[in-house]
Amino acid sequence: MELTLEGRLLAGLAIPLVGRIPAGPLDLAFEEAEGLLALPGKPGFFALVVEGDSMAEYLLEGDVVVVERGPKPRLGEVAAVLHEGRTTLKYIYPKGKRVVLKPHNPAYPTLELPAEEVEVQGVFRFLLRGQEALENLRLLWRF
């Protein structure tokens, strides 16, 4: 007997890889299922491939980040955020009715936006370093 793909997700035996996220300026958001990673997870976890260098040296282009949908980020946590149809990966600092999005790389600007215009899509939980890690992971399923 073998679990279906949905069964693996429900049992916490896989994490969906849903696309790419810019670690740079806000960019258009596209969520597109790419496959399932053979990693233990839990409902609400999903993976994204980092593009850009606004979070370098902390997160590098090609890293795979796993984020959790649902929890409210704590002060200074890294989060995948959506603003006006554009997405990015930044440190997040709620500040009353505003939200500060800060890059790790000082070459990029810090953004301060109205809180009601920012949607937290997921809070960073862990990463797989570099594209090689993704290539070495067994994808259970791929589009």
Count of domains for the chain:
1
The answer to whether the beta carbons of residues 55 and 84 sit under 8 Å apart is no
Supply the residues annotated as catalytic.
Answer: 54, 90
The CATH number of residue 75's host domain is: 2.10.109.10
Q: Please write the tens of the pLDDT for every residue from 19-35.
A: 888 886 655 544 566 77
Contacts with 111 (C-beta within 8 Å, 6 or more apart), sequence order: 26, 90, 100, 101, 102
Residue 115 in 3-state DSSP? helix
Q: What is the pTM of this model?
A: 0.83
Structure tokens at 129: 């370093």
Q: Quote the domain boundaries for residue 81.
A: 5-142
Q: Please write the tens of the pLDDT for every residue from 119-143.
A: 999 999 999 887 666 666 655 545 4
